[in-house]
Structure formats: C-alpha cells, structure tokens
Amino acid sequence: MNTTAPPLEPHAIERLREVELEEARAIQSVMLPAEPLHAGAVMISHEFQPVTAVGGDFLDYFELTDGSIGLYLGDVSGKGLPAALYAALAVGTLRGVHKTGTLPSDVLATLNRRLMIRGMPRRHAAIQYAVFDPRSHEVRIASAGMPGPFHLSAKGCQMLELSGIPPGLFAGTSYEMLTLRLEPGDSVFFCTDGLPDAFDRRGKQFGIARLQGLFCAEPVASPAELLGRVFAALQSFSRGCQQHDDMAAALFHYSC
C-alpha cells in the first residue's frame, strides 16, 4: 500500500511558508519586552522594526535579583529567517548568563565562548550589554561591534567609545567595560546600526551626527516619546526607500 502523500500545489506551498513566517514572527515577538519598564527612578522603552517578516536584531531589559537593571541589544549578521534563528540561539545562550549579576564584560566573554562551541560559518552577533546599579547611580556597559551607545545629559549628547569583536567569531576574545555615573535626568540610548545606516533616495545615510541632533532638540516627556521622534525622523528621511537592515533601539532614562 502506497502511503506517500501527494505533492503540494504551489499555492499550498506558498501558504505554508506564510503560516511558518507568521509563527516565526510570533515567536520572535515573545523574545522582546512586552512593555516599557518602570522601576523606581528608571524608565526604559524600546522600538523594533525588522525589514522582513522576522529579523536578526534582538533586545531585552529586566530587573536583577540584587535590584540592578539589566539591558542588552544585539544585531545578528544577515537578514530574514536565518538571522532570526541565530538571534534566538544568541538570546537563549545569553539568558543563561545575564541574570546572575556577572559584569557586562564577562557576560560577553561567556557568550562568545558558548557561541564558539555552537559555531556557525558566516554568523556572529554584535551586542551591547549594560547593568545599572541604583545605589551607586552607575551604569556599566560592554559593547562589541555596535554603534554608540549615546549618553544624553544636560551637557548634550556624547557618543561613548567602546570597541569589541562580536561574539561568535574568535575564541578567547575579551571585552572592555565602561562605567558611567548618571545624574538625574540623564539617559543612555542604545541602537543597532540599522538606524545610522538608513539611507534616502540618493543613497545618503542618516548618520551618527543626524541621530545626535535629534537628542539635542527640545526635551520630551518620556523615553517612548523620544524614541517616537527618532523613528519618525528616520521614516521621513528614508521615505519611499526599502531599507536593507533591521532597526532596534532602547532608551534608558534615570529620573532621580
């Protein structure tokens, strides 16, 4: 008795692919924060815009058991479903480390070791990881292959210089860590390179300077409002152009 199923019609195959992408999108949405975070004097909001149904950018923020606030944001090489799958691997690996109170630089080193064990050719994950201590008002940040982050204060907008090799590329990589004391009213803006690399019809990039200029405009009421200003400016700048990279951003604000 022949039990082989008949081949699917082209329209059925296309529909199956659409269903699979919808499920992938739903799974990816679960890996993102469900809502902004409000914890004492700390507020965090985020924005996520993949260029396809699913993307390779990822982020999260959370309270640690010692009262500190953690935040990470990352960007996997590539686009679409393969990048989203590797992002899921990176996030799953990261979640085994990030809530233990480990220093950000050590978190990235551990992530690198674990991704190297599960090494995949042509795949890596640029990432920033930060932990804010509400007792000392200090935020510790480690970064690897990402723009910024940006410190927003009464003195203006300063791009913080942090270098590092994205985890998943080379064994034994170590990471530097920057410690920044925040004053009431300060914010830290984190983003993937899809924001400064966005382009208009002439192929001109949005750029770091234009991004910094948005932070120097009139004050806004909340992190969500400032993120709204940034993404509205990006949409206006790139109107009519299909972008090539996912966009993700998170704004950390310390009120007092």
* Three-state SS sequence of 28-55: HHHCCCCCCEEECCEEEEEEEECCCCCC
Q: How far apart are CA 56 and CA 90, in angstroms?
A: 10
- Decide if 71 contacts 252 (C-beta within 8 A): yes
The total number of structural domains in the chain stands at 1
Average pLDDT over residues 129-153: 94
Is residue 6 a part of any domain in this protein?
no
8 A C-beta contact, residue 134 and residue 125: no
Residue type, position 200, single letter:
D
**Residue 173 reports pLDDT greater than 60:** yes
pLDDT band at 117 (very low <50, low <70, confident <90, very high): confident
pLDDT exceeding 70 applies to what percent of the chain? 83
The verdict on residue 2 lying in a domain is no
The mean pLDDT of 225-253, rounded to a whole number, is 89
8: pLDDT strictly greater than 60: no
Residue of 48, 82, 77 lying closest to 144 (CA atoms):
77
Dihedral sign, CA of 4, 5, 10, 13?
negative
Question: Which pTM does this prediction carry?
Answer: 0.86
Question: CA-to-CA distance for 37 and 69, rounded, in angstroms?
Answer: 10
User: Is pLDDT above 80 for 21?
Assistant: no
Looking at residue 99, its pLDDT comes to 65
Spatial CA neighbour of 243 closest among 31, 50, 27: 50
The answer to whether 154 touches 219, Cβ cutoff 8 Å, is: no
Write out the H or E segment, with its range, that includes residue 214.
Answer: helix 208-215
Is residue 6 predicted with pLDDT exceeding 60?
Answer: no
pLDDT on residue 4: 59
Per-residue pLDDT band at 24 (split at 50, 70, 90): low
For residues 230-242, give the mean pLDDT: 89
- pLDDT band at residue 208 using 50, 70 and 90 as cut-offs: very high
The verdict on residue 32 lying in a domain is yes
Q: What are the helix and strand counts (H, E) for the chain?
A: 5, 11
Within a 10 A sphere around the Cβ of 116, how many other Cβ atoms? 15
Q: What is the mean pLDDT of the chain?
A: 84
Residue 1 is assigned to a structural domain of this protein: no
Higher pLDDT, 227 or 220: 227
The first and second tokens of residue 43, run together, are 């507020």
Answer yes or no: is pLDDT of 10 > 80.
no
Three-state secondary structure readout of 185-199 = CCEEEEECCCCCCCE
In the prediction, which pLDDT does 139 show? 96
Question: The domain containing residue 245 runs over which residues?
Answer: 11-254
Rounded to an integer, what distance in angstroms lies between the CA atom of residue 194 and that of residue 189?
Answer: 14
Residue 128 lies in a domain: yes
Query: Is 3 among the domain residues?
Result: no
DSSP-assigned states of every residue in 161-213: ----PPTTSSTT-----EEEEPPTT-EEEEE-TTTTT-B-TT--B--HHHHHH
Mean per-residue pLDDT for 163-187?
A: 92
Report pLDDT for 108. Answer: 93
Given a cut of 60, whether residue 129 has pLDDT beyond it is: yes
Is 21 within a domain? yes
Q: What is the CATH number of the domain that holds 133?
A: 3.60.40.10
Query: What confidence tens digit (pLDDT) does each residue in 62-112 have?
Result: 998 888 999 999 998 877 777 777 888 888 888 777 666 679 999 999 999
How do residues 34-64 score in pLDDT, each as one tens digit? 899 999 999 999 998 887 666 778 899 999 8
58: in domain: yes
